[in-house]
Structures are given as structure tokens and as C-alpha cells.
Chain A
Amino acid sequence: MTDNPAHPTSLPGVLSAPAVTDRDLWALVAGTALAAVLLSPVRHYFNGRDKGEEDSFPLSTYPMFSDHRKDRARIPHVAGFTAEGERIVPHYSHFGAGGLNQVRKQVTRMVRQGRAAEVAQRYADALAARRERPVPRGGGPGAVRRRREAGIVRVEVVRSRYFFDTYYAGNTTPQVETVHARADVGGTAVEVAETRTDPAQDPQGPPTGPMARSGLGNTPPAPIGQRNTPADYRTEHTVQAAPRTVRTPAQESTR
């Protein structure tokens, strides 16, 4: 501890703060410099640089919650289908570790890079590996999810457009959906190029949305739990890409 008279090492009888020393002044300078470093990412909001590209750790541009989504979103993801055509979303952990948002970002990146078949293969392999294990009993959310996933026979990597107002009104069918890859569980993934649309939805969005154009024949949203099978879609055009099969290394078996 300090023996400097300006910084007493014990207090009895000392009633006021010690005088300012050079050490305090240097500490103020260092603190100011540290504050400047910590605030330095803010410059990217004034120099025209992309805040996402400039994001880092631990000095971040904190871009979350700042993008304007308007009334819709196109989201690459993976959909599973049962033999009866029911659509079931497989859990993100079938792709990898790191949490939902990390998996979402990685899937988006791979689809953008033209690697959708690898994504489909990874999910199909993971679901096939899960089949090797007994279907869990019980009423917990994990057990319920695994029982539902046990019925998945095919996965598709899709990019789907949803209108928020329609979705949150209960119609969970995407307005338009592009299929990039497909794989049977236990099989081999192939690239495809299909576009499916829901004819019941106005491509401009529902009349409640800020981007909507009214009077274009919107229909009320369907109740929850309906309109979520492939039969609900109209496939406008289907282009079978040159088949490209993909096998990826077996995924980790412990999740």
C-alpha cells in the first residue's frame, strides 16, 4: 500500500480527502484515454462505414435493434416434413453449437455462398443419428420436440418471406418460399431451385401493414395450425438444378 503522505494508509482522525497529486492527474489522463478507446466504435456511425462489417469484440458497434425491418422478413432456415406432408421445424442444435442466433447466421451465410446442400445434409444426418436412439417419453418440451422430430422424413433448406402482421395474426404459412436444397433423412442432399407461393396472400402484404397496398384481394389469415403443409402452396415454377450430392462428416453425436 502507498506510503505517500497524500495517500494515508489509515484514517483515524483524517476527515477530508487528500490533495490531488501527479498520480491522480495521470490517472485522469489514462481514464480519458480509456474512455476514448471504449467509445471509438461510435465513429463508424459517422464515417459511412458499414456498422455490421466494423463490429468486433469486445469493442462493438452494437448494431442490434437498429435495423428497420418494415413489415416483412425473408429468412433462410430449414423445414422438415413428415411422410404425411406436415411441416415441422427441426431444432437448430441439429446444425451445430453456439446457440440459435449463431446457427441462424451460419445457415444464412452458407445459403448465400451456395452451400445449401451442405446445410440440408447436416440436418438430415443429425436427424438420422437421432433415430438410432430411443424416442424419449415424458411431457417435457425436449421430449415432446424429439417425438415430433422423429416423424421427419425429409428436410428442405428454404428462404421464406413472411409478413409480420399476417404471421402474428396466426397464419404461419410463408407468402413466398424458395427451396434451395432437399435431403431425405438418412439420404443424400441435392440442390434444387423451386419457388412456392401461397396464393391466399397478397405479395404486397396484408392491408394492416405499413407497406401494404389496400384493395388487392387480401384474404383473412388462416387459423393457427393450418395452412402449413406443402399442399397449401402453389408451386409457380420448378427448376431441378444439376444434382449435386453432398456428404459431410458425421456430426457430433452428443448434443
Chain B
Amino acid sequence: MTLVQTLVDHLRPAAQPVRPAVLRLATGTFSAVHNIRRRDMFRRLHRQDETQFTPVGVVRVLRRPLPPTVADALFDAAQAVNIAATLGIGHRVTGPLNAALQLWTITYRNSWTMLLHSDNMMTMHQMVLGTTRSADALSVDALVRDRTLLPQRFDRAYGAVPTVLNIATCAVYFISGVAKVRGPLGMRWAQGDVLRGQIAVDGLRKDLFGSARTDAGSALYRQKGLFTLLAVVSLAVELGAPLSLVHRRLGQAFALGAWGMHVGIRIVMGIRFKYNVSGISYLPYFPAGPQMPR
């Protein structure tokens, strides 16, 4: 077996359409609930002081914010199209359209002075799922075309989807890791002082803006040794993220480590990376359905 054949079998295994379909349903449903619950917040955001508008990414095409009613309509359209794409209704059209609308609305949400980092992975995953063949099973399209929700066929296009999603996930973690070791302390970031300082300032900010710091963060502040351990684990997970693409078991170990890291951040800092804490972001490391053996 040649190297290329091995590489293709690993990254693009011939799998059944149920594999990406499960991911489409999970991510699309999470996104629908997550965004619809934030609808009021988005509408208030669209009516903010114009001087706070600092466009990023694709929204840089704008010099001024959109009229609030237009921004509201785009947001609502994104939710409607997301539901259609998640159900697999006309996915060849609704999938790419959903990818574009999600990119636009979430980028627009991040164009008001503060760049948040909690929606990046979900947005990238939705863009991948919207532009690949993720609705050939468990979809209205499959019912209409194949008269079944679970077509029994294999194609490398189906097996490639989780790999692409995992590449996006890896990129997020790897860049986060590089950011830490390319800071003023370099690899000494692993000593934990920076992390401890970040948790301290985060709790302080919460207090000063009328929220409340977490009990765990306050209680753990004095535990310097614990922060060293947390920092070492964080760096290992982030810088080691690319290894998760090498072998399925490594990928699953990475998924558990990354999920644990986000749960820890949730408990100690009260920061909710909801997509990550839900575990849905790591589902591609646990592919559904059979694949053809090498």
C-alpha cells in the first residue's frame, strides 16, 4: 500500500452518509437553540451607538452599521435557513446559504469593539457542513431522493467531512497554544503565573461590572501549584492538537482533554464556551457509522 493510499484512507475513509449527517444535525440544532435564545441580545446589539462599530472579517465591507431592521432581518433569515439546512431541506442551496448567513451574522455580532472567541469553532463547523455532502442521510432530501433516511452506500466524500471539521478544531487550539508560548514569558507560561493572573483579573472585572466572580476562582487563587498543573495541561492539549489528526484514539484523547479544559474554565472562571462544553464540537472525533476497511 502506497503512502498516498494510506493517507487517503486515513483522512478520507470511505464511509456512509450517516457519518456527516449526525454532525449536521447536532451542530445545526445546537446553533439554532443557541442563536434563537440570543435573539433579543442581537436585536439590542443592532441598535447600539454607531461609534462602537468596528467591523471585522467579512463585515469590513461596511463602513457604517446596517440599519437595525436590515440586520434583524438577516439574523432571522439566518435562523430560518439554518433550520432548513439542519433538516436537510434543499441542502444544496440551503447548506451554502446557511454557511454564508452564519458567517455574516456572527461576524457582525463581533463587530462592536469586542471580539469574542466562543463562536469561532461553531461558525467554522457550520460552514464546513453547509458546503459538503452532509445531508445525504437523516434528511428530507434523503427521504425524497432515496426513500430512506439511511442510504446504504459508501463514499470517501462522507468520511472526509469529520476530518475537515477536526482540522478546523485543531487550528483553533494550536493557535491558542502558540499565542501563549509566543508571549512575554515564552515557555515559562507553563509555570502558571500568567494563567493565575488572567483568572484574577477576570474575577476582578466581573466584580467591577456588576456580575460575580466564581467561588472556585476565588478559592483557588492561592493555590499556585494547581495553576502550574492547569497551565501544563492546557499547553499540552493546545500544542498537541495536531496529533489528534494522526490516529483516531489520539483524537478521542484530545477531545476528552479539551472538553475537560473547557469544563475547568467554566468552573473556575465562569466563562461558558457552550459549544465546547456541550461536547458537540468534539463529535467528529467519534465518527458514526461504518467505514470500509483499508
Contact = CB atoms under 8 A, between A and B. Distances in A.
Contacts of A69: 194, 197-198, 200-201
Contact of A168 (B45, B172, B221): B221
Contacts of A75: 201, 204-205, 208
B112 A98 contact: yes
Interface in A115-140: none
A145 B211 CA distance: 10
Interface centre among B2, B56, B109, B151 (most CB of A within 10 A): B56
A58 B11 contact: no
Nearest to A77: B208
Smallest CB-CB A-B distances: 10 pairs:
A69-B197, A97-B44, A91-B210, A38-B171, A45-B182, A102-B114, A105-B114, A164-B200, A62-B176, A92-B209
B222 interface: yes
A56 interface: yes
Contacts of A51: 179
B209 A17 contact: no
Interface string A178-194: 00000000000000000
Given A8-B153, A31-B160, A68-B184, A18 B292 contact: yes
A101 B293 contact: no
Interface stretch (A20-28, A229-237, A239-247): A20-28
Contacts of B113: 102, 105-106, 109
Indicate the size class of the contact surface on chain B: 35 or more
A57 B115 contact: yes
A98 B114 contact: yes
Interface string A28-40: 1001001100110
A68 B174 contact: no
A8 to B, nearest CB: 6
A1 interface: yes
B211 A68 contact: no
Which label, helix, strand, loop or mixed, suits the secondary structure of the B interface? Answer: helix
Contact of B206 (A66, A68, A100, A167): A100
A91 B163 CA distance: 43
Interface string B202-223: 0111111111100000100110
Which of the listed residues A10, A23, A39 has the most CB atoms from chain B within 10 Å of its own CB? A39
B168 interface: yes
Contacts, number: 231
Contacts of A84: none
A118 B91 CA distance: 48
Contact of A55 (B115, B200, B208): B115
Given A7-B155, A16-B294, A59 B209 contact: no
A106 B8 contact: no
12 contacts: A17-B291, A18-B156, A24-B156, A28-B12, A57-B120, A57-B123, A61-B179, A91-B209, A98-B41, A102-B114, A164-B200, A168-B222
Interface string B173-202: 011101110111100010001110110110
Contact of A60 (B49, B103, B115): B115
Interface in B76-118: 103, 106-107, 109-110, 112-117
